[in-house]
Amino acid sequence: MRKALSLVAAMTMAMVALNVPAASAATSVTFQPQTVLGPGVPKDGTSDQNVVALGEVTFDTTATQTAQLVSVMRVNDVTIRSLFDNEIVCKWAGGSKNVVLGQNVYQRGSGKPQFEDLTLTTSQLVHPGVATRVTCTAFIRTASLGWDDSTLRLVSGSLKAVVFAGKAIQASTPPGLYKVDAANPVVRQPLLPLSDVPADTQSLDVVADAEYMICHTTGQCDKTKTSKASFTLIVNQWKADGTLCQSDTSTSVVLDTPYWVHHVVVPLKKSGLVVRKDCAPRFNAYVLVKWLGGETGAVQGVATGLTDSRRSEAKHNSDMSSVHVIPNRLS
């Protein structure tokens, strides 16, 4: 399990260095290290999350441009096991686009160091479809998983925007939990339907994040156990007649997730997939999730009803499990 989690961490960090067109404009901000409060579980049965803005970027797009946003956060030194979410909220006149990924982080000295020091990367594409100014903010969302307040240390992080020509090619898993167990061992989420890339595309970078949850789709759960599953990013190119041209299945990982981690981010990335010129510039992609044993698992869809700030009445939705494509084109 430790080997698999090390692979996930390495892939997470690799996502920061996507291959984008040389003519792209970029802007970024680095987060200041700080201690963040995780409010304790309210005893009245309600919920409480701290929502802290860490930094923002602002950029202009034309009607034909798309921006890729990448937020990286590393946390550790947690006093009580806590929720840790990395969220990007983007807004422009008349529109918005949000994405969030998260995992429970263990308290220091838990004996499980791989769950005590976490780096999470959240990314998405933003395509307003009009000439406009876009502002994107990175938020850390935290909550103690005990009655008492917790604290965690934001060690480092950054938010980066890269603007390039073309429409957004992406998809997110709809709201809900997409269960995998002995009776239903396979699910294909997140799922990008057939999509055409520009004709001069030389290669693709495909980024997929599956948010995997243990239990919570069934009334029975052994909290001393784990949920084991494999995750494979499948990218297909198609011929003009609708037959398969090529299929890449080289990006894969197996994770065994303890109940107390609750939900785990599974980052998968295929860089530099060559576009075959003897076929159509048409692709689809998805994460093939296979249940291998243990407790019931599920892929999480869009997070609904997130508070804009702590105790805010205003709420919003954010994508969770998602996949997107960056076409690498001729300069």
Say if residue 15's pLDDT is above 80: no
Spatial distance between the Cα atoms of 169 and 244, rounded to a whole number of angstroms: 20
| Token pair listed for 49 | 């999350």
Q: What is the pLDDT of residues 119-131, one digit of tens each?
A: 999 999 999 999 9
**In the block, residue with structure tokens 């297909």:** 236
* Residue 331: predicted pLDDT: 66
Judged by average pLDDT, the poorest of 7-11, 78-82, 134-138, 207-211 is: 7-11
* Residue 220: predicted pLDDT: 84
The β-bridge partners of 70 are 123, 160
Q: How many domains, the chain?
A: 1
* Residue 19: predicted pLDDT: 44
Average pLDDT over residues 39-45: 91
H or E segment and range at residue 7: helix 2-14
Average pLDDT over residues 265-290: 97
* Residue 250: predicted pLDDT: 96
* Residue 216: predicted pLDDT: 83
Spatial distance between the Cα atoms of 159 and 123, rounded to a whole number of angstroms: 9
Spatial distance between the Cα atoms of 9 and 280, rounded to a whole number of angstroms: 34
| Token pair listed for 35 | 């201690």
Q: What is the pLDDT of residues 71-85, one digit of tens each?
A: 999 999 999 999 999
Residues 6+ apart with CB under 8 A from 93: 132, 133
**Total H helices, total E strands in the chain:** 1, 21
Say if residue 7's pLDDT is above 70: no
Spatial distance between the Cα atoms of 311 and 308, rounded to a whole number of angstroms: 8
Q: What is the pTM of this model?
A: 0.90
* Residue 20: predicted pLDDT: 42
Under 8 Å between Cβ of 111 and 76: no
H or E segment and range at residue 15: none
Spatial distance between the Cα atoms of 65 and 15, rounded to a whole number of angstroms: 21
Q: What is the pLDDT of residues 148-157, one digit of tens each?
A: 999 999 999 9
Note down the domain range covering 18: 2-329
* Residue 26: predicted pLDDT: 56
Pairing of strands 82-92, 315-318: unpaired
Residue 181's closest CA among 210, 225, 218?
Answer: 218
CATH code assigned at 9: 2.60.120.660
List of E strands, 145-277: 150-165, 169-172, 177-180, 186-196, 201-214, 226-238, 244-258, 263-274
**In the block, residue with structure tokens 């260095």:** 17
The pLDDT confidence band at residue 164, using thresholds 50, 70 and 90, is very high
| Rounded (to 5) percent helix, strand, coil in the chain | 5, 60, 35
Q: What is the average pLDDT score of the chain?
A: 92
* % of the chain surpassing 90 pLDDT: 87
